[in-house]
Structure 1
Amino acid sequence: MTKSVFYLSDGAPVEPEDVKEARDKDRENSIIKPFMDSVREDLVANKIYLPTLPALALEALVVINDSDSSAHDLEKVISRDAALTARLIRYANSPLYRGLNTIASIKPAITRIGFQRVKNAVYAVSMKEVFRTSEKDIERRMNRLWAHSVKVGAQAAILAKEQSGLDADIALVAGLVHDIGQIPLLIKACNYPEMIANPEFLDKVLFKLHTQLGGSILKLWKFDQHVIDAAAEHEDLDRDPGEAPVDYVDVVQVANIMSYDGTNHPFASLDRSSVKAFSRLERASADGSLDAETKKVEDVLF
């Protein structure tokens, strides 16, 4: 069949729309496919880049997981890092732990949070370091990813406080790491200039792979299964747990969708009645008080 060619009045040829779409699709595939194939090869060979928590945070987690350790042992470790100490004190004074008095030192902060629950607090206040990069090509993206993760984590924590059986600390961590799978993909993309030059292609790859990769990373890090599930399933808008109790996937999914309010992201115009998580939560609307509490938790993490 002869290909149709159209001309403008000045004689310049106009490419038919279907031909242009096919050509653009071929170009997209030629850029995306090699990148995705390489990611899958890295996964099989266990060569995927894994971000790590700061050394002192890992040391604090070892102390927390040691049944013979005391609050005093934990205090000694945390006190060696002024930044970690300050963040944990702010965390203990946040809306997640309302107390009669403002805490000013690490010992009462640990007491208020609780020795075992400090684990999630350490994860929360240390996670910012995981989102740092020296790669200039993706630095702005990584900063946006951290800001989004903080918003989702804070929102999830506040929502979880109002659900029976859920822990706000776990919800906060689940929200902070829900997109953790994007980090190794962004780092790897730096070796693929065409991916960096075409952000819409990179967005498609991130959407396709980040949940599976995120769940795998958190499994390797030995995170709580609830947190792993939230990272792996939060984009599944057809998820329907039936009569099962509200869980952390629900709160992270709702928090993630709500985080896009007022933007041009597709989730901003999503019909929320079609997402089961919204009807499963007792309170899933961004009213003023919810926003105010969320902002206070965000401030602790930045």
Structure 2
Amino acid sequence: MTQAAALTDAPVQVVPKAPSGGGVWSKVRGVLAMFSNRKSIVGLSILGFFVVVAVFGDLLAPYGPLEKDYGALRQPPSTSHLLGTTHMGEDVFSQIIYGTRGVLIVGLIAGVFATTVAVIVGVTAGYWKGWKSDGLSAITNVFLIIPGIPLMIIITSRYDNPSLILISLILSVTGWAWGARVLRAQTMSLKNRDFVKAAQANGEPLHRIISVEMLPNLLAIIASSFVGTVNAAVLGLTTLAFIGVIPITNLNWGTILFWAQQNGAFPDYWWWYVPAGLCIA
């Protein structure tokens, strides 16, 4: 009893907890989590490689994209021409390097623009009710059924030399609707969650509810929508180039395939079309 009383009467020392900073570190760990995934590392490495090629293409290319070597026509890969030559003696390796820049520019511009439109339309349509939501949903459905390739052919064929920005905007016009549809459905689910209801009850403004409470929970869908749009833009650009809608001055991987097909490269002169096809893949 005496020992128990002594223990009970003894002063209790409270050791203050050091701030853990768990919130900050959890966010950092969430951002860096993708680097622990092998597939993510491989994908980022491939993307980084093409970015370096596009930025430093002038230094990496051994020849100009249209520079001709009439002494080496349709030659297979060699020390002087790493990926062989075309029917005009143009270096295929240099053409692929210079074509990378146009592909990345179109893909990134179209991805950013289409994703921005998809977020604005999808989140707004999912949060609002009534005729506003129905109207935005109807507009999204209209763009979903617009045939992308024919529309791009009609618009680009009206210009003698369409710029990469114009091509990017055309591709983004036909590429935002799917992302908006998915974001609308997810936003309709999020707006009924407790933390959104609490923000509404506290009188938080609409822009803060969307930007602070909802958008962080939509980042995964937004990222996947961006990646899908970039893929579709790259395929759309190369398709337009392959069928000859885009002029040869807009050099890209699809242009290389166009000239290979026009000059009978399939299947004998594999070095003319296989590298460009692998880059697109």
Same fold, TM exceeding 0.5?
no
Structure 1 or 2, whichever has the larger Rg, is 2
Q: TM-score, normalised by structure 1?
A: 0.28
- TM-score when normalising by structure 2: 0.30
